[in-house]
Amino acid sequence: MVENIFDRKSMTEAVNISFTPTKAVFNKLFNSIETFDTRFVDLDIKKGGRSVAPYIQRGDSAVGIASSGFSAKTYEPPLIKLFTPTNADELLQRGLGENVYDNKSPTDRAASKLLDDQLELDNMIQRAEEIQCVESLLTGIVTVKDDEANTIDTINYGRASELNITTDWTGATSNPIADIRAWQALAIKNSGIAPNIMFLGSESVTSFLNNDKVGEFLDNRRIDVGELSLKALELGVTLLGVINGVQVYSYDEFYTNPAGVVTPILDTKKMIFGSTFGKYGVLYGGLSNYREGNGVAEGQRLSFSTLNEDGDQRKVHVWSAPLAIPKFIDSSLGGTVTS
């Protein structure tokens, strides 16, 4: 097409395709936030037993019971430090959806660019937090990897091995309803706490909804299977139904891995099962930076910008040190439910 400078032109509304993180697991289960001004965080754990008081004959001496001790664990929340550079020359060019003859000043353009860059970096950190939450419930372990997918740390919360689940809901004799009841009992045995929220990957949802036992369960309660998928709570998350007090959700959230492949945060064939009473939360370690008065920043994020020596490039920085930790780790289960 040959463009004539005297031809009139119009601009339609700009399309900004962005992917806002869906933090369903973080928001529903990991709702305890703690910040610290130290690099390491200690957690003391005392686990009681289920002993029954013994009877004695009258006149006998009292029965001595040993006091239970506690264990101490030290965790180091992994560090995230991101930045995005902006060259001054970019501020002389129009922004997204901006008319070429717009009167928007470079100063206003710089402010908009800074906010956009800051939001994009924060979204990346939010995805990292959500991945930690999902992984900690799926395996009882958080794996810390660098930008090339190399493992630099492994944080194992020591969940009981029997809480790592492997089954197949596509099998003729499978029974997801009975499994949910049995898994609740298993968590109660190990922790005293019943899990009450389950998230299913996309293939697990199909296996669940197509299972004959699920259909029978719903028929007995005069519930149409079609009613299960009516309540979409947020992008990528749908409430499938409530089974014996357990909220069952589909979970379809993705991230781009270091190889550039869009990958589900929760594997499509897996499930995670947690409790709102399990004291799950996210700890944020201290961030060493002399922009804070004492050289250490405490909080969920540290955001700032810097100029290079020539003054023609500004970098927007966002730092964080999050660690998702289910304090009652044995109140959770996770694993594969579809072959």
- Classify residue 243: in a domain, yes or no: yes
d(CA 216, CA 194): 24
The average pLDDT across 219-223 equals 53
- Classify residue 14: in a domain, yes or no: no
- Classify residue 6: in a domain, yes or no: no
DSSP string, 208-276: HHH-HHHHHHHHHTT--GGGGG-EEEETTEEEEEEETTEEEEEE--EEE-TTS-EEESS-TTEEEEE-T
pLDDT score, position 229: 44
Q: What is the mean pLDDT of the chain?
A: 82
Q: What is the pTM of this model?
A: 0.84
- Classify residue 167: in a domain, yes or no: yes
- Classify residue 18: in a domain, yes or no: no
pLDDT score, position 211: 93
Class of residue 214 by CB neighbours under 10 A (exposed 0-12, middle 13-18, buried 19+): buried
- Classify residue 89: in a domain, yes or no: yes
Structural domains counted in the chain = 1
The average pLDDT across 193-211 equals 95
- Classify residue 315: in a domain, yes or no: yes
Q: What is the pLDDT of residues 106-139, one digit of tens each?
A: 677 767 778 888 899 999 999 999 999 999 999 9
Instruction: Print burial letters for 136-160: b (CB count within 10 Å at least 16), e (below 16).
Output: bbbbbebbbbeeeeeeeeebebebe
End-to-end alpha carbon distance in the chain: 54
pLDDT at 101 over 60: no
- Classify residue 10: in a domain, yes or no: no
pLDDT score, position 225: 44
Q: Which structural domain, as residue segments, surrounds residue 258?
A: 24-39+71-336
pLDDT class for 21, splitting at 50, 70, 90?
A: confident
pLDDT class for 226, splitting at 50, 70, 90?
A: very low
d(CA 114, CA 109): 9
Q: Which CATH number goes with the domain that contains 329?
A: 3.30.1930.10
